[in-house]
A and B are shown apart, each in its own frame.
Chain A
Amino acid sequence: MADLGSIRSEAVLMNSVSSKNRPWRSFRAKFILVVGSAVLVDLLISGGLALWNVQRLSRDATEEVGHGLEQASQDYIRTYADSTVAQVSLLLDQVHSDVGVLAGVLQEQIDNPRQQIDIGSAISGVSPGSVELSFDPAGQWAQNAPGSPSVVSAWGYLLNADHNPRPDVLADIRASSVLDLVAPSLLKNGASKLQMYYIGPKERPIFRTAPYTDQAQTFDRLYPGHNAANFWDFFFPGLYETWQSQATGHTGQAIPVEITQTAPYTDAITGKLIVSFFQPLWSADRRSVAGTAGTDITLDQLAETVENVRVAETGFGFLAMSDGNVVAISGRGEKTIGLRSTSDAKGTGVTGLERSLKGSSQPAIAQLASDPRDGIRHISLDQNGEPVPFMVIMKTLPSINLWEAGKVRKDAMSLGIVVPEREIYASLNAAQAEISEATNRIVVYQLLAILLSLVIVTLAVFAASKRITSGISALAGAAQRIQSKDYSVRVAVTSRDEVGEASEAFNRMAEDISYHTENLERLVKERTAEIEDAKEEISILNAQLKSENQRLGTELAVAERIQMMVLPLAAELASSKDLEIAAYMSAADEVGGDYYDVLESEGRFKIGIGDVTGHGLESGVLMLMVQSVARALQEAGTTDPVKFLVDLNSALFKNIVRTRIDKHLTLAFLDYDGKDMLISGQHEEVIIVRANGDLERIETMDLGIPIGLDSDISAFVSTRRIPLEKDDIIVLHTDGVTEAENAHGELFGIERLCKEAVRLHQQSADRIATGIIDTLMSYIGSHKIHDDITLLVLRHR
């Protein structure tokens, strides 16, 4: 037996050889393929599902977050817009309120002329600078000197020839001095106002303004020719007439608040863009206009509120009139929505500002001007040639009366807030980006996890498959080695499983094969010798058998010869004048010991039938002895059947003892004296068929005992007399007839024999014998005949 080390090295060698031969068809490859595929499919399905779910989750989350954020953003902007509108409205309301207070004071003066005069006188007394005007020859107007809280100008056409104000004008100057009491505090408090003023009615349109400025001088510089025309007609054409028509009841007041606002224009005094707010004053009877109280605010104040709008990073607000004219916007905002401002130089009245949305270089903004409904809309603005999405929310302010281009009409300003969508949606985008990033991260992690799992499983499968299949590979390799007649191979048993058991069994088989192969030659030699010995033995036995056969054959031939020799001749059978006798005997292959005889002596016939036990020469010899003794006794004149049998038995018994022939025989005799038939001795039944067909069966058991068993049988032998008439027949047989078998092993039997005898009884003895034998032979067919067949038929003539 090889040592373990060499076995291992051989196993390893075989393993590598076999796997080199069929790397992709090996058990291991299949194992790896199957397990790997299962794991791969599993991973792909679970991984794919996970990825799909993550993607869907991400999509849903993005949608949900986007929806929420968008809603929140829009709500925020809307709220912002509302609050900005409220702020603007508040500012305007404060201005309205301030104008209202001034107007109220002035209206009170008008409605109470006495009080008006008293107050005027009081102020004139306290502050004469407020009512004393000096003529300016260059400007052809009169104005009070600086130092008063307010400046009051009386235009040239309000002066007399002595350059003093007309008396009614002077009265108005005095009355309006009440402004000195009210305006400074109004200017100081409330909304930030540029100036507050009083303008007299059209027939004496003095212009008192607080605080004091060189207003007439400024008018001369900015509005040459104003001193030649009526103030109202020059600066605010149509406005006065509108109010007047309201007073006379031609048209109703447009709104309950009796304040009219101008469109923005350049302030004559400060040069700033301003908006004026007027509240008309009425005569005591309310039938005509009695001047106006007014205040100016710079657009800066409105613009400040609007420009303070800070939505996201670059979001901005604007305030537009209903015709699209933008009255407040930051510079950046103006640029973003593409506004172009043009001064309306050729317009009438105060110089207006034309900066309309309609004139925007951005089509979306121009469209906005034609459809200024409230609400949020999404537009695209061109920025540096790139379309950028913006969100615009429009909010209409409360209505006002607007004087513009000589007319007063109802108008409402709109606040717009413009925000780049990318800023509005910055948080949304950030959230989406975060979700997307998270999704991507999860996807990447998932993929990494799948790959890692694959690597681990692959390594594990490789490792496990090596363990699992190495035993099988080693076995396969070892089997190949055995196939190539290397019987020294053994496999290492490394496991306790089925492979281990197979390996152990393989080693045992290999050992057996090895042993048998190595010892085959010796074994063949041994076996050959054994076979030769056996053959010799067989030859010897065969030779013995041959000689034995020969001897037996000779013996049988002799026996048969003896049997046939002693049978009666045909002439002897026919010697009786009363009896017609037919006999048939067929010896079996091995010669039975059947015997029949017809002995005649002095007219007495003795017909015998017997059956010696056994076969062969000894049976033949015993039969010969029986025949000889019977003949001798017949010749000796022994007529008593009983004595005949007793003597015959005695003689035979002694000879059987001497010859040591271990046999006996049944033997019966019929004695016929021409009249009756006497039956003696024990044999088969005697069959008698009468001439009329009646059947009689004579049992012979009580008429004797087998011959040769005992020395003296006299106690057992007796006779029976049978009367015999013409055409009666007697049939004698040996058991060879009744015990003949057919192919199924069924015996012919006494009944069948009797039936045949009855059937044939009218025919001659010969024909009866032949007929019975024919039936018997066809019954036996090709089946083996075990015993001699003997049949004797006697017919009474």
Chain B
Amino acid sequence: MEIRDENFRVWAENECVYFDGVLRLAGPDAYSPIYSLAASLLHEDHARVIFDLTGLEFLNSSGINLLAKLTIEARKKPEIQLVIKATTQYPWQSKSLPNLKKLYSGLDLQLA
């Protein structure tokens, strides 16, 4: 499964969801397919689910809202280990992603 346009690509492989490029969609409605894609993994029987953001250059505030909702969704399923792989290469990630850790302390935020 893959969602993409000229600027970004989001796809799932097994238990991992990869985010790539620049995501600057207009709002919650625009992000809902991506939300469905990522949330579906949380509803499957995975021991852990990984969101790999290392290729995501930019994510606007609506996108960060999406990650927050997914984090809250994961918080409801403590049996699933949510891992977010991130990079300090893109400033927005070190700025926004620690908030997710605040929302859900069980989140494994790998900011490298």
Contact = CB atoms under 8 A, between A and B. Distances in A.
Interface stretch (B9-17, B44-52, B61-69, B78-86): B61-69
B72 A613 contact: no
B58 to A, nearest CB: 8
- The contact size tier of chain B is 10 to 19
Contacts of B95: 701
Given A682-B99, A710-B103, A662 B28 contact: yes
Interface in B81-112: 95, 98-99, 102-103
B24 A786 contact: yes
B65 A613 contact: yes
A705 B65 contact: no
A606 interface: no
A787 to B, nearest CB: 8
A169 interface: no
Contacts of A786: 24, 60
Contacts of B61: 611-614, 666, 735
B102 A662 contact: no
Interface string A670-700: 0000000000001000000000000000000
B26 A701 contact: no
A192 to B, nearest CB: 145
Contacts of B68: 664, 706, 709
B112 to A, nearest CB: 18
Contact of B102 (A613, A663, A705): A705
A614 B31 CA distance: 11
B33 interface: no
Contacts of A219: none
B28 A615 contact: no
Contacts of A613: 27, 60-62, 64-65
Nearest to B30: A614
Contacts of B98: 701
Nearest to B27: A614
Nearest to A750: B91
A664 B102 contact: no
A709 B98 CA distance: 14
A98 interface: no
A614 B99 contact: no
A615 B24 CA distance: 12
B90 to A, nearest CB: 11
B26 A614 contact: yes
A425 interface: no
A614 B65 contact: yes
Contacts of B60: 613, 786-787
A517 to B, nearest CB: 42
Contact of B26 (A590, A662, A705, A710): A590
Contacts of A716: 102
Nearest to A663: B65
Nearest to B28: A662
Nearest to B29: A662
Contacts of B27: 613-616, 618, 663
Interface in A613-664: 613-616, 618, 662-664
Given A590-B26, A701-B98, A614 B62 contact: yes
A677 to B, nearest CB: 22
A464 to B, nearest CB: 62
Contacts of B102: 705, 716
A664 to B, nearest CB: 6
A701 B102 CA distance: 11
B28 A663 contact: yes
A710 B99 contact: no
Contacts of B69: 662
Contacts of A735: 61
B103 A705 contact: yes
A66 B64 CA distance: 122
Contacts of A706: 64, 68, 99
16 contacts: A590-B26, A612-B61, A613-B65, A614-B27, A614-B65, A664-B65, A701-B99, A706-B99, A709-B72, A709-B103, A710-B72, A716-B102, A739-B58, A786-B24, A786-B60, A787-B60
Interface of B: 24, 26-28, 58, 60-62, 64-65, 68-69, 72, 95, 98-99, 102-103
Given A613-B60, A615-B26, A709-B72, 11 more contacts: A611-B61, A613-B61, A613-B62, A613-B65, A614-B27, A616-B27, A618-B27, A663-B65, A666-B61, A706-B99, A709-B68
